[in-house]
Amino acid sequence: MGSRDLHNKESVEKIIYMYALADCNNFFVSCERAFQPNLEGVPVVVLSNNDGCIVARSNESKAMGIKMGTPFFQLKNLVDNGLLVVRSSNYSLYGDLSRRIMSILADAAPKLEIYSIDEAFMVMDGMDVEAIKAVSHEQVHKIRQWVGVPVSIGIASSKTLAKVANHFAKKHPGYKGVCAIDSEDKIAKALALTKIGDVWGIGWRSAPKLEAVGVLTALDFVRRPREWVNSRMGIQGVRTWEELQGSDRVEHENDEKRKSICTSRSFADMITDPDELMLRVSDFAAICAKKLRSEGTVAGTVGLFIQTNRFREDLSQYESGTTIRLDVPSNSTQEIVSSALRIFRTVFKQGYKYKRAGVIVTDIVDADAVQGVLFDYDESLRERENVISCIMDKVNTADKNFLRLATQRPGHYSEGIRSQYKSRLYSTEWDELIEVR
């Protein structure tokens, strides 16, 4: 670690981490290409839920000037004229390939922090840069061959710099997918080439203000005194300022943070009425959603189980449960509740006396990690849900839910969603496999 002495002057005893940020190139498009190799080299875009607007672009469609978030109807004529290929989002496919990629990365790193569906930090403590580079090249090759998705890896001593390095790895083919920024020299060069608006942690609100006072690049930014940054942008800005110089300041993902949340109860009286049981299940789901919101996380999977009283051997016994993956990780009460109820309808059987039920949410990640990827996922709907969820949090106390959703009606979600250009569930559905002649 050549740059070890250059920073962290005031806290030498602190462990110095090295990060390798693995980020899939144009992830959704690459997933489509993994099973449709004829889409290689062709301009491709992937649409948001309901075929609303562009959420992913291939390099070729970027080169055509197509911007993220463009409403699809504005591009439809390109598709009709054969100049652009479009796919509806296929989250089951992306989720499966993401899981495979993360599992490959987890095998290669002492610690892996999954940041979003297509990004993860490999935390490489105690390894020297050359070794990290070698491991990274291996992963790029392996993921491309095993899963079929191109990945780029950026290496640096802070997460923010690793992001910058990743940018370079993606942009310049010469790096062969791996770029390390591991000396003061390289840091300065890289920062000079990085627009301030492209820096992780500099929001779209701050960027124009900084540009207005002459801070155009990341290098301009770190050359300003700490006090200047602090007075304008507060502690968050100072963090970014330090990180860009190679100091590791982003708080480490809290290991204490739960990987799953389960809300389950044994009922005082056994329940036979499905409506009654549904109500209980909804409450459990709502509690899970509330806990997620309170810790600023979202869950990717919702599970439900119901069971009869095992100790009453005189009664017929039944237990069942399963999980479903959400298209987009969520902490909205509506979404978690409706998912739990969807499972409920598949597992509930009449004629049993139920003693216990529970809702488990898993695949928990930070909420902002998800927003970055799917910024426009039915945003107005999300906003509305968030407002409703917040009101519910305020009114409902821990053990009494005064406000319940009217959406506890079956089938409120995921029906009537448009996905006219959806590819198959190649890797998760037995009846939708690739056809081989």
Q: Sort strands 44-47 and 54-57 into parallel, antiparallel or unpaired.
A: antiparallel
Place of tokens 């095992």: 310
By CB under 8 A, tell whether 314 contacts another protein: no
By CB under 8 A, tell whether 85 contacts another protein: no
* CB-nearer residue toward another protein: 227 or 313: 313
What is the helix (H) or strand (E) element at residue 121, kind and residue range? Answer: strand 119-123
By CB under 8 A, tell whether 100 contacts another protein: yes
Place of tokens 């993994």: 34
By CB under 8 A, tell whether 277 contacts another protein: no
By CB under 8 A, tell whether 313 contacts another protein: yes
Residue partners of 230: CB distance under 8 A and separation at least 6: 237, 238
By CB under 8 A, tell whether 262 contacts another protein: no
Identify which of 254, 261, 270 has the alpha carbon closest to the alpha carbon of residue 310: 270
By CB under 8 A, tell whether 427 contacts another protein: yes
What is the helix (H) or strand (E) element at residue 433, kind and residue range? Answer: none
Of 10, 12, 13, 38, the residue at the interface with another protein (CB under 8 A) is 38
Instruction: Pick the piece of the chain touching another protein (CB under 8 A) from 83-91, 206-214, 308-316, 326-334.
Output: 308-316
Question: Distance between the two ends of the chain, CA-based, in angstroms?
Answer: 52
Q: Restricting to residues 121-150, which ones interact with another protein according to CB under 8 A?
A: 141-142, 144-148, 150
Of 227, 251, 256, 435, the residue at the interface with another protein (CB under 8 A) is 435
* CB-nearer residue toward another protein: 17 or 305: 305
Q: Is 35 within 8 Å of 90 (Cβ atoms)?
A: no
* CB-nearer residue toward another protein: 100 or 412: 100
DSSP state string for 374-431: STTTTHHHHHHHHHHHHHHHHH--SS------GGGSTT-SSSS---TT----TTT-GG
Tokens of 370: 């998800």
Measured from the CB of residue 423, what is the shortest distance to another protein in angstroms?
A: 14
By CB under 8 A, tell whether 305 contacts another protein: yes
Measured from the CB of residue 37, what is the shortest distance to another protein in angstroms?
A: 4
Q: Restricting to residues 321-340, which ones interact with another protein according to CB under 8 A?
A: 321
Three-point CA angle 88, 200, 22, nearest 5°: 60
Q: Which residues bind another protein (CB under 8 A)?
A: 37-38, 100-101, 103-104, 141-142, 144-148, 150, 305, 307, 310-311, 313, 319, 321, 426-427, 430, 433-437
